Amino acid sequence: MQGKTTSQGGSSGAGQRQSEAAQREARLKAALKSNMARRKSQARKRKASETNDKNE
C-alpha cells in the first residue's frame, strides 16, 4: 500500500511526522474527491438547465 509508513523503534518523531503527512494527504485527497463530485454535479445541473431553456 502506498503512503502507509510505520516506525518500529528509533526516532518516533520522524515516524510521527510521516504519519501526520500521510493523514493530511488522505484528508486532502478525500476533500478533492468530494469537491470534484460536487462540481461535476453542478455542471450537470447547469447543462441540463441550459438544455431545458433552449427547448422552451
Range of the domain at 48: 16-56
The residue count for the chain: 56
Look at residue 9 and tell me if it is in a domain: no
Asked if residue 3 is part of any domain, the answer here is no
Q: Report if residue 34 sits inside a domain.
A: yes
Q: Is 4 left (phi over 0), alpha (psi -120 to 50) or beta?
A: beta
Which of 45, 27, 47 lies closest to 35 in space, CA to CA?
27
User: What letter represents residue 29's amino acid?
Assistant: K
Number of domains the chain is built from: 1
- Domain membership flag for residue 41: yes
Q: How far apart are CA 43 and CA 54, in angstroms?
A: 17
Question: What's the pTM value of the predicted model, to 2 decimals?
Answer: 0.58
Evaluate if residue 3 carries a pLDDT over 80. Answer: no
Q: What is the pLDDT of residues 9-45, one digit of tens each?
A: 555 677 777 799 999 999 999 999 999 999 999 999 9
